[in-house]
Amino acid sequence: MLKNVTYVLTTHDINLMPKDDLKEYVIIGRSNVGKSSFINSITNNKNLAKTSSKPGKTRAISFFDVDGKYRLVDIPGYGYAKVSKDQKKMFAQMIDTYLSQRKNIAQIILLLDIRRGITPDDEIMINYFFENNISFVIIGTKLDKVNQSEKHIFEKLLMDSLSLRPLLYSSIKKTNLDKVLNIFEN
């Protein structure tokens, strides 16, 4: 588990973000992929990041301090269909501004729902990372909700299409928690 994790702030304005040199591990993924559940699971604090049964709950960028050593950053989910086009545009601009201007980024952690594979919105985000030379790792979420066959199909899809091996994780069972925590130790 990540220890001594505390909420810092939530903002959409890059000028209000923490002004120091702590590295940031950015959690990003489509709406309803389980970003908040992932953060709560790896910190062993079910109340740290706000979860909701309604997709699109996260509307700004949230920062969490990890023992004064680095931060977790929760980015609003992309691809949520039930918000206005103006809101989608605002989210896209906020994410682009953060990713292109923030110097603290140590690692992008892209969460993909194993059951959904790679959605068109995921493809756009992955292409953005490749085009902008942004390092990222992929974690497949909701491992506890798929069978072995679905798991292998997801892994094969990522290997065949991106030549990337995903790390598979269950926020409920904490399967592969040790491997997830290695991301932060490196």
Confidence at residue 86, expressed as pLDDT on a 0 to 100 scale:
81
Give residue 58's pLDDT.
Answer: 58
Region of residue 71 (left: phi > 0; alpha: psi -120 to 50; beta: else): beta
Is residue 76 within 8 A of residue 64, CB to CB? The reply is: no
Looking at the chain, the whole-number percentage of residues with pLDDT higher than 90 is 76
Higher pLDDT, 39 or 79: 39
| Ramachandran angles phi, psi of 142, nearest 5° | 65, 35
Mean pLDDT, the chain, whole residue set: 90
> How far is the CA of 58 from the CAs of 2, 52, 101, 151, in angstroms?
22, 9, 21, 28
Q: Which CATH architecture has domain 5-185?
A: 3-Layer(aba) Sandwich (3.40)
The type of residue at 162 is: L
Alpha-carbon distance values, 176 to 73, 76, 142, 168 (Å)? 21, 24, 12, 7
pTM of the model: 0.93
Domain positions in the chain: 5-185
Residue 146: φ, ψ to 5°: -125, 160
pLDDT at 110 over 90: yes
Angular region, 58: left φ>0, alpha ψ -120 to 50, beta rest: beta
3-state percent helix, strand, coil for the chain, nearest multiple of 5: 35, 25, 40
Q: What is the mean pLDDT of residues 170-184?
A: 95
Interval 80-94: pLDDT, tens: 656 677 877 887 888
State the Cα–Cα distance between residues 95 and 89, nearest whole angstrom.
10
Q: Give the whole-angstrom CA distance, residue 88 versus residue 38.
A: 23
pLDDT in tens, 119-176: 999 999 999 999 999 999 999 999 999 999 999 999 999 999 999 999 999 999 999 9
For residue 55, pLDDT beyond 60: no
